[in-house]
Amino acid sequence: MLHGFFVRRGANHEAEDLVQETYLRLLRAHQRQAGAIANPEAYLFTVALNLAREQAVRRRRSPLPIEELENLTALLATEESVEDVAERAQRRQHLQALLGSLPERTRAVLVMQYRDGLSYKQIAERLNISPHMVKKHVVRGLSVCRRALVDAAEGE
């Protein structure tokens, strides 16, 4: 049940570790208290919710591995042409710079959608915004990236 709780909050890869940490914290609390915990299930899910929040904060602070965003590069490509390795590397660097220039929330939304494969609803829950705002961030971010890629292609 706890594993599903963490997965629903976007901690797919860390769910097992978070479940173990939840139980460890419950055991530590039980050892510190003289009596039994009045409602262990409620306490367990309170601990789990706090862990999920801590994990979300850590994820937001971690650097973005741009190599995992190659799917975004393919999506943003305006034409399918045969490119050599050097061109792709240059495009990847350009895309990384573009993503770095986006507002933090827009960048986070794009990463969660294209790297993590999250739905608008899941992203909205993680960022505490509406799914409609998630869509607006995606549209704005993709628009900026497409425009910049077109400008770069025209400049060549």
Residue extents of the structural domains in the chain: 2-61, 66-155
User: How far is Cα 151 from Cα 149, in angstroms, rounded to an integer?
Assistant: 5
Measured distance CA(46)–CA(36) in Å, rounded: 16
Q: How many CA atoms lie within 13 A of 71 on its CB side?
A: 10
DSSP 8-state class, residue 89:
H
Structure confidence by residue, pLDDT tens digits, 32-82: 776 677 777 888 888 888 888 887 777 666 555 555 555 555 555 545 444
Q: In this structure, what token pair is assigned to residue 121?
A: 């609803």
Residue with tokens 């741009």: 66
pLDDT tens digits for range 74-132: 555 545 444 456 677 777 777 778 888 888 899 888 888 888 888 899 999 999 999 99
Lowest mean per-residue pLDDT among 4-13, 16-25, 107-116: 4-13
Q: What is the pLDDT of residue 122?
A: 92
* CATH architecture classification, 66-155: Orthogonal Bundle (1.10)
The rounded distance, in Å, linking the Cα atoms of 109 and 124 is: 9
